Structure 1
Amino acid sequence: MGTFPPFRGGISNFYQTLYEKLSYEHDVTAINFSLQYPNILFPGKSQYDNNLKSDINIERTINSINPISWKKTANKIIELEPDLIIFKYWIPFLAPSFRSIIKHTKKKISIKSLVICDNIIPHENRPFDKFLTKSFFKHIDHFIVMSKSVEKDLLFLFPDAKYIYTPHPLYDIFGKCNNKDKSKRYLQIHENKVILFFGLIRPYKGLDLLIEASKTLKEKLNNFKILVVGDCYENPEPYSKMINKNGLNDIFDMRFEFVPNDKVNIYFSAADVIVLPYKSATQSGIVPVAYHFDKPVIVTNVGGLSEIVQEGKTGYVVYPEPNEIADGILKYYNNLDKINFVENIKSYKDNFTWNKFIEKIERIFIQ
C-alpha cells in the first residue's frame, strides 16, 4: 500500500520494484493513491509521470484527505484477506489515512502489518509530526529500517519495536550504463571531468555547500563540469545568484527538471562521480542508483549515508563543509590511477540485492 505509477519519483520506483520482486513467489495486490498530495501542498512541478508504463494491476483507492476513501480501502483489504500489509512511511501527513486503514482492517481480520521506514522524523520538522507518527505506528507489528539513523529514531519513539535492519536495495529499473562519451554528447557536455548532483533539490540536500566547494575546485581541478539535475522543491534563484556572484557559471550546468526513468542512465553514464553534500539525511536512494551504474560517491557523514560507502574503495565520506566536500572530490580524482573504484563497487553492491531485501520481509511471515 502506497505510491505506485503514475506517481513519479523514488518511492514509486521502490514500490513498483518491490511489487515485482515479491510477485515471483507471492500473490500481491497493489493499492495506490487516487490523490497523494493536494496540489496546494505539493512543492514540485508535478506529482505524475504519465509516460510511466507498468504491468501492475493497481487499485487506486486512497485519497489522503478523504476519510470515506480510507474506509473503502480498508474494506477492499478485508475482502482480499491478505497475510501481510506493507506500508512505506516517509511523511507524517499520510499517517491519519494509514492509521485509519490499518485500524479498521485489524478490527475485522487477522493480519500482520509492516512499515518500511524511509523517514520517521522528517527533515523539516512540523508541529504534531511525532504525535501523528506514533498514532499510526502503535497499530503496526513489524518495521524495516534501512539505516542506523532511522533505527535510532524508531527506538526513540518505540523502544520495544520489532524491526529488521537491512540497507536500501539497488534499483535495477534504469537500464544499463551507456558509453560515457556518447552520453556527454547527448547532454552537450564537452568537459573531460563530470561531477553529478542528482535528485530532488531541497534545502537539506546541501547544494549551496557544493557551490561553495566549487570555488576550491575551480582553483585545483581543470577541465570539469558540475552537472546539477533535479526538480527544485524551493526557489532556485538563490543558487543561480550564488553561482553568478562567485563567477562559477563556466563550471556549473544547472538543469532544474525531473528526469524520467528512461533517461536516468544518460546522466549517470556521463558522470565520473556522484556527490551527495547533504546537511541531514536518513538514507538515500541516489547511492543505490550510483552503485547500479558502478559510479563512486562522495557523501557527507550525516544520517545513514556513510553506512553504505567503503571509504577509499567505493567513494569517500566527508564532513558537510565546503572545504571537506572539495577535498573529497579532489581525493577521488587524485586516486583514479591507484584505486579501481568500479571493480570495488561491483563486488560491494552484492550486499544490496533485492533478493536479500525480500528474504528479510519473508522472515516476518514465519515470526
Structure 2
Amino acid sequence: MKIRKVAILGPSKRFLSGVSYYTIRLSNALSAYVHVRTILFRNMLPKRLFPGWKRVGENLTYLEFDKRVEVHEILDWNNPSTWLKAFNLMKDCDAVILEWWTSSVAHMYLSVELLNGIFAEIPTVIEFHEVIDPLESSILPIRIYSRVVGKVIRKLADHYVVHSEMGKKLIGRVYGISLDKISVIPHGLYDHYKRVEGAKEKLGIKENFVILFFGLLRPYKGVKYLVKAFESLPKEVLEDSRLLIVGETWEDRETTKLIANSKYRNKITVVNRYVPDNEVSLYFSASDVVVLPYTRASQSGVAHIAMAFGLPVISTYVGGLRESLSKYKGTIFVKPMNADELAEAIVKAYRNGRKRFSPPKDLSWNEIAKRWIKLLNQL
C-alpha cells in the first residue's frame, strides 16, 4: 500500500528540546511527499518537575511547521480525553510515528497504542532518541516503571527506528526486539541556523580561537574533562583561546565547581541558561571548534548543528557519534574521559586554522524523508 497520510506524535515547542526541533524538521521533510498530521504534547508532566520549568512556554525558536503540515497541540499527560482525541486524529492515517525520548510520555503512548490495536490497527513505528534517559535510570522507581511500561509499549509497535547501528543493537538487547524489526535512519542536519557576521565582536570575545561546548550540562556530557584539557593547553594556545560553555546546568554541579575554581577562570565564559535560536547562531558563528566530550551518547543534535556550520568537531569515540560523525571530514575523534587526548585534539584544531568542511549529503532532510517514505511503504 502506498502511504498517503502519516501521523507523528512528539513534543511541542512549549517544552522545547532537541526532540521538539526534530519533530518539526521531520514533519516538514515528510510533508513534501505525504500529508502529515502532527499531534503534539501540550503538557508532558507537572511543570515543576521539568528541570527547565522556568522557560516552559517561552518562545525560544523561530523554527515553524511547514504550512502543509496539519498541527494539533492537544496532548496532556493527565487528561485521558486528550489521548482519545489523539487517537481519533490518528485513525484515518496510513502510519503512525511515535517519538520516544522519555518515560514521562509512556502512559499516553500506551493508551493510543491500545486504542489503535482494538479499533484501527494502523502500522506504528517508534523512533528512539533515547533508550533510557540517564537521569531517569538513576532513580529506581522511574527506572523500573520505564523498563516495564516501555517493554509493553514496544511490544505493541510494528517497527522501530534508531539513528545508528549502535542504537539498533542496544534497543534489541535491552528490550528483546528482533533486529529485523529495527531500521537505522540517521538524524538530519540542523541547518536552519544562519551564520552571524562579526559574532566574536558582538560577544565581546578578544581571543582568536574559540572552543565551544553547547548543550545541557549533565554528568555524562563529560564537560569536566574539557575544562581539564583547556587548563593543560600549551601557553601560546591557551592565551589565544577562549572556552565557551553554553548550556543550562541540570545535574552537573561538579563541572560548575571546577570552572569556578579554575586558575584560568578569566578565560572561560559560561552561559548558564537555555538560549533562543538567534543566540545559537551567534555562538556557533563565533566558534572555531565544537567539542563533544561525552562519556556516552546515542546521538547529538549539537553535532548536526556544528556540521551544518562546517566547523571542526572534536568528539569522543562513543555510541552513535562514531557513525554520525565518521563521514564528516572535520571530525577529530578522541577516547572518552581522557583530558590529555582532548587537549592534543584542541591543539591540532588550533594549528589547522579556520578550515571549514562540507556536511555529508546523506544527512539532508530530503534524503531522510525518502528513507522514511520507503520504510513506511514497506509496512
- Fold match by TM threshold 0.5: yes
Show the counterpart of 1:286.
Answer: 302
1:8 pairs with 2:19: no
> Once superposed, which parts of structure 1, at least 4 consecutive aligned residues long, lie more than 6 Å away?
none
| TM-superposition CA deviations, 1:323-345 (whole Å, max 9, x none) | 12111111222234xxx852xx3
| TM-superposition CA deviations, 1:236-288 (whole Å, max 9, x none) | 5x434312323121210000121112331111111000001111111111111
Select between 34-43 and 267-276 the one with higher mean Cα deviation. Answer: 34-43
TM-score with structure 1 setting the length: 0.90
**Candidates 107, 118, 122, aligned match of 2:133:** 122
Q: 1:167 to 1:77 in 2, by over 3 A?
A: closer
1:37 pairs with 2:37: no
State the shift of 1:191 in Å: 0.7
Show the counterpart of 2:6.
Answer: none
1:59 pairs with 2:76: no
Distance 1:363 1:122 in 2: 29
Select between 81-90 and 61-70 the one with higher mean Cα deviation. Answer: 61-70
Distance 2:279 2:25 in 1: 18
| TM-superposition CA deviations, 1:91-138 (whole Å, max 9, x none) | 122222111112212311131111211111332312332222211111
Show the counterpart of 2:250.
Answer: 233
Show the counterpart of 1:70.
Answer: 83
Distance 1:146 1:29 in 2: 22
Show the counterpart of 1:102.
Answer: 113
Show the counterpart of 2:4.
Answer: none
| TM-superposition CA deviations, 1:328-365 (whole Å, max 9, x none) | 111222234xxx852xx31x421211122111211123
Show the counterpart of 1:18.
Answer: 26
| TM-superposition CA deviations, 1:128-170 (whole Å, max 9, x none) | 3222221111111111110222111221123425122122110
Q: 1:308 to 1:365 in 2, by over 3 A?
A: closer
How do 1:1-367 and structure 2 match up within 5 A? 1-44=9-52, 45-50=54-59, 52-53=61-62, 54-55=64-65, 57-78=70-91, 81-124=92-135, 125=137, 126-156=143-173, 157-161=175-179, 162-175=181-194, 177-179=195-197, 182-217=198-233, 219=235, 221=237, 222-234=239-251, 236=253, 238-310=254-326, 313-320=329-336, 321-336=338-353, 341-342=355-356, 345-346=357-358, 348-367=359-378
Is the 1:142–1:364 Cα contact (8 Å) retained in structure 2?
A: no
| TM-superposition CA deviations, 1:201-221 (whole Å, max 9, x none) | 111111111111122126462
Distance 2:355 2:168 in 1: 29
Is the 1:6–1:52 Cα contact (8 Å) retained in structure 2?
A: no
Which amino acid letter does the alignment assign opposite residue 178 of structure 2?
A: D
Is the 1:194–1:226 Cα contact (8 Å) retained in structure 2?
A: yes
Distance 1:83 1:40 in 2: 37
Distance 1:132 1:82 in 2: 25
Distance 1:22 1:297 in 2: 29
State the shift of 1:235 in Å: 6.1
Distance 1:263 1:143 in 2: 35
TM-score with structure 2 setting the length: 0.87
RMSD: 2.1
Q: How many residues align?
A: 355
